[in-house]
Amino acid sequence: MAEKVQIKAETYSEDISLSRNYKNLGINVHKFGGSSLATSKQLEKVCDIIVNQTRPGDIIVVSANGDVTDRLISVAHGRHHSIPELVEYFKQLASELPIDSDSFLKQLSKDFEVIKELSQQIPVPTDSILAFGEKWSARLISELLLGYQCNAQAVDASHYLKLTSLHEYNQFDEQFAEVNFSSLYESFLDHLDCNNTRFVFTGFIASDNNGRLITLGRNGSDYSATAIAQLVQANSVTIWTDVDGIFTADPNIVSNAQRVEHLSLCEAQAISELGANVLHQKTVTPLLTYKTSASIKSSFLNSSVGTEITQHPTSFGQVKTIAAKQALVRIVINNINELSARTVQQKILLNQTASYASNFDRTLDRLTFYVAESDRFNCISIIQAAQFYPIVEKNNLSLISLVGQGIRQNHKVISKFIERLERYSIEEIHYPANAHTLCVLIEDEQAITLLHDLHDTFFEREPSIPIVVLGYGNIGKQFLRILKDNKSEIESSLNQSLSLLAVANSRHYVLSKNCLTRHEDTIELLEDDNNTESRSCDNKPLIESNLNNQLLKALNSYSNKELVVIDLTASEEIANLYTEFANSGWHIISANKIAASDHKLASHIERIQSQKNRKWFKNTTAGAGIPIQSSIKKLKEAGDTILSISGIFSGSLSWLFGQFDGQKAFSELLLEAKNNAFTEPDPREDLSGNDVIRKIRILAREAGFLNARESFEPALSDSLLQGDLPQFWDNLTAVDKYYAELYQQAKSQGGLLRYIATLTKQELTLKLEVIQPEHPFANLNPCDNVFAIRSEWYKDNPLILQGPGAGREVTAAGVLNDLCDLLRSVA
């Protein structure tokens, strides 16, 4: 556009009493945007709204239809191929509307001849060319309304809106763009007495003091509407657009964003200063001057409620909406005094470039502010023209802002805001001059996650600390399904929303970024993890390689911030990373037994966790969902002394030997157990006793039996456990023969085979024993673990804990219990 204009209509001229008379007429202003006028159906919908929701004397302000302005810009730049496209577009519209299409198209043809002539001039009068878009739109609407038996008159606003253009701007004159509106009153004095006429004004265009046509820049039609409302002292302004008002956040980003019913003018101004698309800053300025009521509604809905904007707030100290502005760059000007800094910012504003989070440091003579990446070049050119030397200090930044009347006076809002920010890597917290906004600058990569976090905090439930799940096998999938199926109940119980940040297996990880913010999405993406191809959303990878634990590098920004790592693997490599997790300041939940069964490693991790005030939950490392560890801990804390612990600690071997009756080969049962996830991925971990030995050592640590001798026997001959896993499966005939002989020996004694552990202060034992049918460990339910605790209090009548000790469901449920306990304890 050739010239940009800023209105500052604060001085009334000539007959003020006349304006008071106009106020008594009760005029309302309605503005319709280009998207509302793009098709014949939308035009007819707009006419329905005008007929049913306006009255004679009201003013309708319209933008150009659809993308007509963009096409006219193309024509102004010499690309004349856009003219046939425009002609075809309007022919189509006219043919589908109940208007005199021949007359309309005849005038359109004449207009295009004028446009061609204008485009040949040097310099090209761009504004004059662009003005045709609004003129055509106003003509279409007024003619269409006549078909609805509704009298309407198209009005060229440039005949009445007189504005001062930029080239006449005097930097010492604060009234740099004064509106001369007395002519508007006088011209319409007779018309406004008419009982059946609505006036369809062109938006976006005006004229300067020399009578030259000018345009009002981006969002110019909205600006025209509120300026005209001020001039005629309208009762109200309604801006009809493609969204149903202002929302608690951008609904295109936050799917559960809610419509805001009411905003005060102060809140509307704060939102507009943050670059909101729905409510531009210059649109709000006339509303602040005149203090009329306004509303934003959707012309696409059959019944739009929208957002009402009034002078007086309906709440105080409450967050109303969260604005997000992405892809910003930080610009710094050093060695500049405060007066020069203000001058530079004024020049940037006058050139229609929005800047955000401006801060002048008097001690360093430094001005810092942020602009959109698309405005970077223009902004730098303006600063250099003012003889200063800008530095682009950083890019790819986002401005996330809380808005609400007087929220800076609500210490709870500020405290909660800062508390949530502690979980992120923040560039800067900014406090604007008004008391209604709290802002933070953050890298684009984390911005959307923070936006969801803050939205949940202030409008839903406060998000939990971020959750990272390692292991997407049988237990991992079951755990995530439980989260998905019971999300509402879990969140209600915790009074927190679950924040699943990442899920990983040994090959891939999924990290929550711009388009991965809800844990249901994470589950769906990883359900098909056998697909090795990377998936993407908005050109950003979601499933990425984790062959070298790249997830840890991706989590670097969470170092020394609260986060919980849930280890659902059986990996020694992951267990060896626990020290790194602890040093990063993260909570740990383990189903993996390896670290917990290594006394030296476990003690080291517990020491770090204690120093950093972090927790390590490992209740499912022994007994799955059975609360054996917590029971031991509670007995000791109450002053009891543990004498011994005995039982069957392996759910898989409990099931195997409970089912083994000599009728079916042992190998058949073993394969069935593996397919049902009763065993470890390598069943030799169970048959060798390694898995039970880890549980014994874990419970021995809890009971205080740290110096006890160890006497462990495998449940299968050592010779049959040698070699690699394929060799083991190839040798099942020998395994079957081994167990068939053991079974016959036990049967000859009238007994049963059971793999029993016994823990005392002196000795830890594990062996396959023959017990009689009346023994307490003989008749267990399939997969049951049983723990018999003898203590000073339970010496003669042991405390028995019994329940499922194997299977994906019980382990996943036990991990979920640990997670819920952890989240409650850190809330």
Last-in-domain residue among 411, 426, 459? 459
Q: How confident is the model at residue 87 (pLDDT cuts 50, 70, 90)?
A: very high
760 and 735 belong to one structural domain: yes
The Cα 87–Cα 105 span in angstroms is: 8
49 and 183 belong to one structural domain: yes
Closest alpha carbon to 206 in 145, 158, 276? 158
- List the structure tokens of 725: 């896993």
Please confirm whether the linkage preceding 804 is cis (ω < 30° from 0): no
Q: The CATH number of the domain where 652 resides is what? A: 3.30.360.10
Q: The CATH number of the domain where 39 resides is what? A: 3.40.1160.10
What DSSP string describes 233-278?
Answer: T-SEEEEEESSSS-BSS-TTT-TT--B--EEEHHHHHHHHHTT-SS
Last-in-domain residue among 241, 262, 291? 241
In angstroms, what CA-CA distances link 118 with 7, 104, 126, 130, 191?
Answer: 27, 21, 8, 11, 33
In angstroms, what CA-CA distances link 200 with 44, 57, 70, 139, 521?
Answer: 15, 10, 22, 8, 47
Secondary structure class of 587 (helix, strand, coil): strand
User: Residue 405 falls within a domain, yes or no?
Assistant: yes
Number of separate helices (H) and strands (E) present in the chain: 31, 32
168 and 45 belong to one structural domain: yes
220 and 82 belong to one structural domain: yes
219 and 365 belong to one structural domain: no
Last-in-domain residue among 175, 206, 241? 241
Tell me what pLDDT residue 175 has. Answer: 32
Please measure the distance between the N-terminal and C-terminal CA atoms of the chain and give it in whole angstroms: 54
Q: How confident is the model at residue 236 (pLDDT cuts 50, 70, 90)?
A: very high
- List the structure tokens of 730: 């190839």
Which residue is listed with tokens 């049913």?
52
Query: At 485, phi and psi to the nearest 5?
Result: -75, -25
Tell me what pLDDT residue 515 has. Answer: 31
What DSSP string describes 451-486?
Answer: HHHHHHHHHSPPBPSPEEEE--SHHHHHHHHHHHHT
User: Residue 300 falls within a domain, yes or no?
Assistant: no
- List the structure tokens of 529: 């993890």
Tell me what pLDDT residue 230 has. Answer: 85
Is residue 296 within 8 Å of 226, Cβ to Cβ? no
Q: How confident is the model at residue 177 (pLDDT cuts 50, 70, 90)?
A: very low
Domain that holds residue 728: 628-806
Closest alpha carbon to 381 in 362, 356, 353, 360? 353
Closest alpha carbon to 348 in 377, 319, 325? 377
387 and 436 belong to one structural domain: yes
User: Residue 183 falls within a domain, yes or no?
Assistant: yes
Which residue is listed with tokens 């309604």?
238
DSSP lists the bridge partners of residue 587 as 564
User: Residue 254 falls within a domain, yes or no?
Assistant: no
- List the structure tokens of 582: 């602890």
792 and 687 belong to one structural domain: yes
Model pLDDT for residues 615-652, shown as the tens digit of each residue: 999 999 998 888 899 999 999 999 999 999 999 998 88
Tell me: pLDDT of 180 over 70. no
H helices of 166-219, in order, are 182-188
The DSSP element (H or E) to which 550 belongs, if any, is helix 550-554
User: Residue 768 falls within a domain, yes or no?
Assistant: yes
28 and 134 belong to one structural domain: yes
DSSP lists the bridge partners of residue 361 as 366
Domain count for the chain, please give it: 4
**pTM summary value:** 0.71
Counting other chains too, the contacts that 421-429 makes at CB distance below 8 Å and 24 or more residues apart are 421/450, 422/561, 422/562, 423/453, 423/465, 423/466, 423/558, 423/561, 423/562, 424/449, 424/450, 424/453, 424/557, 424/561, 425/557, 427/330, 427/394, 427/397, 428/357
- Mean per-residue pLDDT of the chain: 86
The Cα 225–Cα 606 span in angstroms is: 66
User: Residue 267 falls within a domain, yes or no?
Assistant: no
Tell me: pLDDT of 753 over 60. yes
Q: The CATH number of the domain where 611 resides is what? A: 3.40.50.720
78 and 64 belong to one structural domain: yes
Taking residues 799-826, what's their average pLDDT? 90
Tell me what pLDDT residue 187 has. Answer: 52
User: Residue 280 falls within a domain, yes or no?
Assistant: no
Q: How confident is the model at residue 164 (pLDDT cuts 50, 70, 90)?
A: low
649 and 517 belong to one structural domain: no
496 and 398 belong to one structural domain: no
488 and 620 belong to one structural domain: yes
Q: The CATH number of the domain where 377 resides is what? A: 3.30.2130.10
